[in-house]
């Protein structure tokens, strides 16, 4: 009995030692892992003049050449908010999704995104995010405006919001308030779910306030682009010259079950007279490439007509998307006038988001560009995403996106 007790205590001590060793390993490795996959940048945006090598400065100068002082418009900047900052006349009801232990992967992804966006303290997340974003914009060597995006919740069939929202929400009033406080740097894009009981009134109110763009996530927000609520919204948006910003392709909502939204799904909006900007999701399905042939067919049908049909470049530098989406776009210069730059910040700020070596191996950028581009990332991730997209070319050619893809068009800078 005594020997068994001793062996039991020894096993328990060994187990405790193992747990402590694992905890110590996590403590030691966690900051390094966060730096590798989250905030890999090491300097402040204002440090650029002091720390960037000549090769990096040359790439930046080339990226801004040919723009003739026009405003670069970034149509793809998300907002991180936990409802901490509010204006003098409203309460900010934004919230991040509360991931439980069962969704550790999603929680880690959110943590990395927040760290990359400069959020250090959870208690000051809103202020940290806005501060880092504005500092990067103001450190740009030329005029730059970011369109920041609100995100409405999910509403049921009878117009009531779901009690358990599956994703984050970002208040329209908060985004508009931020844009109003930094008018040269920020523009607001609202999100109004068409099944909201007040959707029509809200669209009219924001149109009267000067907001042009309305963002929908058809998969995550469970919006039927052909449904009666959407068609009712189209009528109001067309009457007030608003534009619908919507994702198509293989989309992954918060429940992680992929949903396919065909580009042709926006034809109802186009036929109603609504300008549409498409954001591209995954390009492949069970039978291979599906998105780009459908996109090009849509552009051929509606490209020369009014209202305008444009395509965002958001996220096309990440994962396998350079090969499946970016390269086909570069192969079709006849559609360049329909393309609009978007950084996909803060997702693009993650250290592992844009793989420069992979872009080099695939022939999209020159190997000599990798080191100076990485130096730009270390200082200003927003500038980094822009310069990379300006450097990208069709493999084995010198064909790049022209300057007009990156600057204000169709009233984008109004």
Instruction: Compute the average pLDDT of residues 331-338.
Output: 96
The total number of residues written for the chain in this structure: 414
Q: Which residue has the tokens 């990332």?
A: 377
- From the number of C-beta atoms within 10 Å of its C-beta (0-12, 13-18, 19+), residue 273 rates as middle
The DSSP H or E segment spanning 172 is: helix 172-181
Residue 189 tokens read as: 């894009």
Domain residue spans of the chain: 1-37, 44-405
- Residue 253 confidence (pLDDT) above 80: no
Tell me what pLDDT residue 304 has.
87
Tell me what pLDDT residue 2 has.
56
Q: Let me know: does 71 contact 145? Beta carbons within 8 Å.
A: yes
The region that residue 241 occupies, defined by phi over 0 for left and psi between -120 and 50 for alpha, beta otherwise, is left
Tell me what pLDDT residue 408 has.
77
pLDDT digits (tens, 9 = 90+) for 209-231: 999 999 999 999 999 999 999 99
Whole-number Å distance between alpha carbons of 160 and 212: 25
Kindly report the backbone phi and psi dihedral angles of residue 229, in degrees, each rounded to the nearest multiple of 5, phi listed first: -60, -40
Half-sphere exposure for 87 (CA within 13 Å, toward CB): 13
DSSP letter for 243, please: E
Task: Please tell me which residue, 57 or 89, carries the higher pLDDT value.
Answer: 57
Model confidence at 38, pLDDT cuts 50, 70, 90, reads low
What percent of the chain clears pLDDT 90, i.e. is strictly above it? 71
Nearest to 365 by CA among 340, 389, 401: 389
> 44-405 has which CATH code?
3.20.20.140
Q: Let me know: does 243 contact 277? Beta carbons within 8 Å.
A: yes
Tell me what pLDDT residue 156 has.
87
Whole-number Å distance between alpha carbons of 67 and 409: 13
Nearest to 262 by CA among 231, 293, 303: 293
- Residue 18 confidence (pLDDT) above 70: no
Model confidence at 387, pLDDT cuts 50, 70, 90, reads very high
Tell me what pLDDT residue 302 has.
93
pLDDT digits (tens, 9 = 90+) for 262-308: 999 999 999 999 999 999 999 987 767 899 999 999 999 998 888 89
Tell me what pLDDT residue 26 has.
45
For the beta carbon of residue 153, count every other beta carbon within 10 angstroms: 18
């Amino acid at each position: 009995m005594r020997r068994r007790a001793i062996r039991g205590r020894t096993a328990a001590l060994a187990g405790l030692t193992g747990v402590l060793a694992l905890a110590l390993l996590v403590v030691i490795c966690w900051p390094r892992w966060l730096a590798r996959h989250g905030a890999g940048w090491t300097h402040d945006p204002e440090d650029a003049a002091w720390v960037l090598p000549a090769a990096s400065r040359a790439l930046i100068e080339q990226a801004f050449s040919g723009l003739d002082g026009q405003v670069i418009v970034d149509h793809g900047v998300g907002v991180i908010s936990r409802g901490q900052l509010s204006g003098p006349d409203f309460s900010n009801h934004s919230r991040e999704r509360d991931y439980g232990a069962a969704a550790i992967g999603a929680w880690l992804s959110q943590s990395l995104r927040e760290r990359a966006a400069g959020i250090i303290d959870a208690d000051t997340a809103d202020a940290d995010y806005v501060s880092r974003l504005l500092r990067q914009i103001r450190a740009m060597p030329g005029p730059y405006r970011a369109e920041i995006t609100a995100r409405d919740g999910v509403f049921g069939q009878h117009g009531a919001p779901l009690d358990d929202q599956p994703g984050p929400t970002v208040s329209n009033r908060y985004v508009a308030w931020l844009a109003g406080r930094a008018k040269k740097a920020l523009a607001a894009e609202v999100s109004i779910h068409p099944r909201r009981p007040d959707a029509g009134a809200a669209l009219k109110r924001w149109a009267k306030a000067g907001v042009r763009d309305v963002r929908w996530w058809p998969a995550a927000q469970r919006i039927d682009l052909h449904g009666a609520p959407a068609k009712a919204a189209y009528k109001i948006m067309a009457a007030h010259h608003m534009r619908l910003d919507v994702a198509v392709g293989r989309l992954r909502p918060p429940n992680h079950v992929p949903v396919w939204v065909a580009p042709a799904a926006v034809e109802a909006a186009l036929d109603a007279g609504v300008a549409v900007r498409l954001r591209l999701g995954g390009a492949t399905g069970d039978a291979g490439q599906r998105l780009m042939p459908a996109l090009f067919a849509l552009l051929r049908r509606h490209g020369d007509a009014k209202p305008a049909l444009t395509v965002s470049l958001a996220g096309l530098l990440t994962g396998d998307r350079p090969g499946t989406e970016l390269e086909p776009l570069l192969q079709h210069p006849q559609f360049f006038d329909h393309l609009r730059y978007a950084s996909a910040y803060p997702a693009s700020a993650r250290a592992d988001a844009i793989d420069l070596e992979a872009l080099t191996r695939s022939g999209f950028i020159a190997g000599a560009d990798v080191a100076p581009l990485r130096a730009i990332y270390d200082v200003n991730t927003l500038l980094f995403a822009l310069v990379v997209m300006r450097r990208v070319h069709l493999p084995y050619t010198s064909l790049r996106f022209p300057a007009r893809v990156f600057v204000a068009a169709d009233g984008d800078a109004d």
